[in-house]
A and B are shown apart, each in its own frame.
Chain A
Amino acid sequence: MLLEIKDLSIEFHDHDVPERVVHDVSFSLAEGEILGIVGESGSGKSMTAMAIAGLLKRHDVEKKGTILFEGTELLHASRAQLRKVQGNDIGIIFQEPMTSLNPVKRIGWQVEESLRIHRPDMSKEERRHRAITALSDVELPNPEQVYKKYPHELSGGMRQRVMIASAMICEPKLLIADEPTTALDVTIQLQIVKLLQRLNKEKKMAVLFISHDLSLVKRLCDRIIVMHNGDLVEQGSAQEIFENPKECYTKELIDAIPRLEKLV
């Protein structure tokens, strides 16, 4: 198993009453697999993803359980230990293309940042070459042009592709995609999903795809996890979940799929 999560609980202590946002969640992810996490807003999907990415380092967050990445414990690992695994083996893309790129840095610089950290022996020319290859890998037209641009000069869909390129540049084994398409319009959504599918096949990279859009999840994922109020309510293969949902919450979710699917 690439990733094994056992009894993950996350509690916030920044208010008077502790707030438990993820409760005893366990699941695993195999190499090269695409796993979907679905659930309504506030169900704890992002928090789960953040925990896997080691981005819940705040002192007012209490975390319990274990997260094993290729056998290494991540949840309670020190910063130095995390640094070795992360960035190199785990990449992340976020929901909001407006805030996921640094507005004052050129695209090329941002895409190369992981290389500067994890491949310090690489020459400037090599890095540039790798970055441009990565940009053309995510099907951006004129990658040399994009390399020199600033984020505000790109559209939302292009920015999301740049994000994917910079998350992929060190060829991670796991890509966490937290609602990568929510802010985009429908045709671009499909393009991004197809791109992720292709990259998953070509690079043998596992994907943790978070979304509240069940129709996209159905299209993309091998297996699906359903979350509700911080609990994992159901998990199974995509087919099982869609054809034979056991929990009524899952049924409700499926019934709520926009009729768009049928229109297309």
Chain B
Amino acid sequence: MLMKSFRKKYPPNFVIGAVITVVMLLLILMSFFYTPYDITKMDSASKLAAPSFRHLMGCDNFGRDIFSRVLKGMENTFVIAFLTVVIGTAGGVLIGAFTGYFGGWLDEVLMRIIDVVFAFPSILLALVFVSIFGTGRYNVVAALGVAFIPSFARIVRSEFIKYREMDYVKSAQLAGVGRLRIIFVHILPNTFTVLMSSIMIGFNNAVLAEAGMSYLGIGVQPPDASLGSMLSESQTYLFSAPWYAVFPGLMIILLVLGFSLLADGIKA
């Protein structure tokens, strides 16, 4: 009985997604305080060591513990993706809300700019940004964040165009409610469902984008770890030490998969 109503309320996708996400989040949380080994400590005796009880995921070409580095890398990837989405959402909501609500020349100008920005893949934009301002964690966040603004702005704008014509908005206008209050208090909460799912999708894209940038060597810089940079470094040892590539890759997949399933569940 209980099982049945539980299943009805929470589809299996949602449950699996939630479990994966919670486990990942716990691991990330743990990595802030504790990793089994120092992630930069080299040990020449265990270069490219296979997974064992001492090193759960083995060791890399410097003899550093991969499990510890995967934990730290997840943390970096997660923090960068999270901040990227925060910047993208905040910027997108502001631009989308104002252009959508007011229309007119402001809308024309901003949306043309957005169109131009949007015409390039976000990873390419981030590349340009990083090549101008330099690499490093916060430059990556800034670059990806800005590159993520257009897609959020478009979604929010189309929501605002829909809602600004609603009768309840008109009666708020008539009641003398200020324009900012109408935008942020009356209309914005109506866009939360749509915003929520694009935040989820955006987060996944940000994880992949960060991994991509670090893979290309313009993201998180060594000796610090990110899932993408580990994947890139492991390439040379793909045959001699496959576990070096497998675990970071697996973590990227799990991070994205968990969130996708969760987003699906929430949408339904």
- Residues of A with C-beta under 8 A to B189: 104-105
Contacts A102-B190, A103-B190 hold; do A94 and B176 have CB atoms under 8 A apart?
A: no
- Residues of B with C-beta under 8 A to A100: 167-168, 171
Is B104 in contact with chain A by the CB < 8 A criterion? yes
Partner of B168, one of A59, A101, A117: A101
B176–A83 touching, CB < 8 Å: yes
Is B128 in contact with chain A by the CB < 8 A criterion? no
- Residues of B with C-beta under 8 A to A103: 190
B168–A87 touching, CB < 8 Å: no
Q: How far is the CB of A174 from chain B (nearest CB, A)?
A: 11
Docked complex Cα distance between A91 and B103 (Å):
26
| Interface residue total, chain A, C-beta cutoff 8 A | 34
- Residues of B with C-beta under 8 A to A58: 103
Which A residues fall within an 8 A CB radius of B?
A: 53-55, 57-59, 82-84, 86-88, 90-96, 99-105, 110, 113-114, 117-118, 163, 166-167
- How would you classify the secondary structure of chain B's contact residues: helix, strand, loop or mixed? helix
Q: How far is the CB of B102 from chain A (nearest CB, A)?
A: 10
Most chain A CB within 10 A, of B104, B171, B177, B189, is at B171
Task: Report 9 cross-chain contacts, Cβ distance below 8 Å, ordered by A residue.
Answer: A54-B174, A55-B170, A84-B176, A87-B174, A94-B170, A99-B168, A102-B190, A104-B190, A166-B171
Task: List 5 extra interface pairs beyond A94-B167, A167-B171, CB under 8 A.
Answer: A54-B174, A92-B170, A92-B171, A100-B168, A117-B178
Is B216 in contact with chain A by the CB < 8 A criterion? no
Q: How far is the CB of B64 from chain A (nearest CB, A)?
A: 50
Q: How far is the CB of A103 from chain B (nearest CB, A)?
A: 7
Q: Sort chain B's interface into a size bin.
A: 10 to 19
Is B173 in contact with chain A by the CB < 8 A criterion? yes
**Closest residue to B179 on the A side, CB-wise?**
A79
What is the 8 Å Cβ interface bit string for chain B, positions 153-193, against chain A (1 contact, 0 not)? 00000000000001110111111111000000010011010
Give me the 5 closest cross-chain CB pairs, A-B, nearest first.
A87-B175, A87-B176, A100-B167, A94-B167, A83-B176
**Closest residue to B169 on the A side, CB-wise?**
A102
Docked complex Cα distance between A259 and B186 (Å):
43
- Residues of B with C-beta under 8 A to A113: 172, 175, 177
B176–A117 touching, CB < 8 Å: yes
Q: How far is the CB of B125 from chain A (nearest CB, A)?
A: 33
Docked complex Cα distance between A12 and B178 (Å):
26
- Residues of B with C-beta under 8 A to A93: 171
B171–A94 touching, CB < 8 Å: yes
Q: How far is the CB of B256 from chain A (nearest CB, A)?
A: 30
**Closest residue to B172 on the A side, CB-wise?**
A113
